[in-house]
Amino acid sequence: MVYKTFAIALIWRFVVLELLMLATAWLAIKPGFYAGLVIAIIILLIASIEFWQFIKKTNREISRFLDAARYSDFSQRFEFKNLGGGFRSLGETFTDILENLRQLRSQQEADLRRLKALVEHVPVPLISVHGNGSVTLQNNAARRLFGSAPISHVRDLMQFGSGFHRAVTDAVPGNKQLVVFAHDGMEQQMTLSATEVIVANERELLVSLQDIQSELDTMQTESWQDLVRVLTHEIMNSITPISSLTRTASDLADDVLKKVDDKSPLLEDLTDIHHAVATVSRRSESLMQFVDSYRQLTRLAPPERFRVPLASLFEYVADLAKAEWGEQSVALVVTTTPQSLDVYADRDLVEPVLLNLLRNAWQATQSLPTPKIMLSARLNRRGRVVIEVDDNGPGIAKDIAQKIFVPFFTTKEGGSGVGLALTRQVMIAHHGFVTAGTSNLGGAKFSLIF
């Protein structure tokens, strides 16, 4: 309808112009109509100028409309109120088209922002490997994974282990594989999968990394808890009546001994029986206490986490440790970087863990002439709080490094094998890790990563 109205206006002007040209020609060949001829020529010139302005105005407005559409200038308006119905309808159509383009562009931008927000909040790290080897971190999870390490090319992934670098470089779209991600002195199990994407005729490999270390640790802890729960239950069921009966028998033997004359031939036999029963009673009670200590692994309450200033926590734990060490001279160095560093944790669970690590370090350095222990806290490259306990003792032998966090395993005479297993369980409950390595002091280093 718009273009029909505009065409009618154009044809009407063209017809009028043609009629004026014919009238002027007719007056030119008729003698005696000089005044009429002059008037006709003037009217023809005015009509020609108006027709030219009409065409020029149309071309100019169409050009303005096309430029507005090309450069997405949706602020342009086409209101031709004083130029006739054809121009007014044409202007309204141009304005409607630009408004529809603006709404379509706004919808596309809103969809793009929504898609970017979804990708940013996906908990799985996503990275893109481009054809030229450059790498783009696509979401917050990926940036948290790599921390402050500069990542712009696949060669930058070497700092997280040659195996991880090789897995990303050689990733096959559609395949899933298990990789080891090494960072901050610890190794993390991950599953890697890749998808090939073609963007602007360029191949791009979208790699997703799923952290399964926490799930593995949780499953392993639950398995140990189930095993310990069954063992302690069965042992306690068996040893409790034995302990009760031997205690009763020991008391009876003691009463009989008090009534037997010193010269009785039964005195020696009764004394041996009393000692035997008393020994069994003591050992059964010790065994019950030993088994009961393992119940800590199955009765750990969920942590109630609050902001804990590490400086005050370290001061309190250090005072407890020094009181336990007594007069022995131990150089204990406590540092917190920065001084105001705090951790979101359950203080009631973290305190005994730190005290146990300090006790282990003290026991490892007792035979040294100048024992030294360090308790420190810092932020790693990924912005996580790391608490470290170092000593200058003999360190951890490589053949037992992977066993020290296993329940029941101990290298100490009379040890229960509960301390480090409980430490690991506490850190898993805090969604963190505990690692053991070699300290710069030459001994062992235990790191709690929150």
CA dihedral 222, 228, 230, 233 (to 10 degrees): -140
| C-alpha–C-alpha distance, residues 136 and 125, integer Å | 11
pLDDT of 412 reads: 64
pLDDT band at 368, cuts 50/70/90?
A: confident
Question: How many CB atoms are closer than 10 A to CB 284?
Answer: 20
Q: What is the mean pLDDT of residues 128-135?
A: 88
Q: What is the mean pLDDT of residues 298-318?
A: 85
pLDDT of 196 reads: 87
**pLDDT of 321 above 90:** no
| C-alpha–C-alpha distance, residues 96 and 45, integer Å | 36
Residue-wise pLDDT tens digits, 396-425: 887 777 778 776 666 666 555 667 878 888
The two three-digit tokens of residue 391, written as one number = 């000593």
**pLDDT of 364 above 60:** yes
Q: 308: which DSSP letter?
A: E
| C-alpha–C-alpha distance, residues 442 and 395, integer Å | 7
Question: How many CB atoms are closer than 10 A to CB 77?
Answer: 11
Tell me the C-alpha to C-alpha distance, in Å, between residue 366 and each of 261, 289, 331, 345, 410: 52, 27, 12, 31, 18
- Of all residues in the chain, the percent with pLDDT exceeding 70 is 77
Tokens 């109120």, residue located:
81
Domain boundaries, the chain: 2-117, 122-211, 216-298, 306-449
Residue 336 near residue 314 (C-beta atoms within 8 A) = yes
The CA R_g of the chain, rounded to the nearest whole Å, is 44
Asked whether the CA dihedral 141, 143, 146, 148 is positive or negative, the reply is negative
Q: What is the mean pLDDT of the chain?
A: 79
**pLDDT of 116 above 60:** yes
Q: What is the mean pLDDT of residues 353-376?
A: 89
**pLDDT of 14 above 60:** yes
Element (H, E) at 202: strand 202-211
**pLDDT of 3 above 60:** no
| C-alpha–C-alpha distance, residues 355 and 358, integer Å | 5
pLDDT band at 389, cuts 50/70/90?
A: very high
pLDDT of 87 reads: 60
**pLDDT of 2 above 50:** no
Q: How many CA atoms lie within 13 A of 78 on its CB side?
A: 28
Q: Which of 172, 137, 178, 173 is nearest to 154 (CA)?
A: 137
Residue 420 near residue 431 (C-beta atoms within 8 A) = no
For domain 122-211, give the CATH number: 3.30.450.20
Residue-wise pLDDT tens digits, 85-103: 456 666 677 777 777 878 8
- pTM confidence score: 0.55
**pLDDT of 350 above 80:** yes
Residue-wise pLDDT tens digits, 224-247: 666 666 666 566 666 777 777 777
Q: Which long-range contacts (CB under 8 A, 24 or more apart) does 65-71 make?
A: 65/94, 65/97, 65/98, 68/98, 69/97, 69/98, 69/101
For domain 306-449, the CATH superfamily is Histidine kinase-like ATPase, C-terminal domain (3.30.565.10)
| C-alpha–C-alpha distance, residues 163 and 165, integer Å | 5
Residue-wise pLDDT tens digits, 58-85: 667 677 777 777 777 777 766 655 555 4
